[in-house]
Amino acid sequence: MKKEYDFENARRGAVLAQKGKTRITIYLDNDILDEFRNRADEAGFGYQTMINDALREFLDKTKKLLDESMLRRVMREELARVAHH
């Protein structure tokens, strides 16, 4: 071990950066964060992973907002509305 180390060009952060991940700062309501931490403890993995999974699931669900069945339903409703006027 050296007596002295040069940290002049050192940078803060993870020793090994994770591919495909970006560190951010985000403000969440305390009760939401507490619930994610509790559920993650029960499930046996990290709360950040659980938050990431929840966000991914939300994005996957909202991606298909206007699929064929939704479009058909909207068209039926609009045609019915116009027919009654």
pLDDT in tens, 5-58: 988 888 776 667 788 999 899 999 999 999 999 999 999 999 999 999 999 998
Residue 3: inside a domain: no
Range of the domain at 59: 30-83
Give the residue-averaged pLDDT of 57-61. 87
Q: Residues 47, 36: contact at Cβ < 8 Å? A: yes
pLDDT at position 51: 96
Output the DSSP codes for 50-61.
HHHHHHHHHHHH
Return the structure tokens found at 56: 């991914």
The Cα–Cα gap between 51 and 28 comes to 11
Which helix or strand (DSSP H or E) is residue 72 part of?
helix 68-83
The separation between the first and the last C-alpha atoms of the chain, rounded to the nearest angstrom, is: 86
Taking the model in full, what pTM does it have? 0.57
Count of domains forming the chain: 1
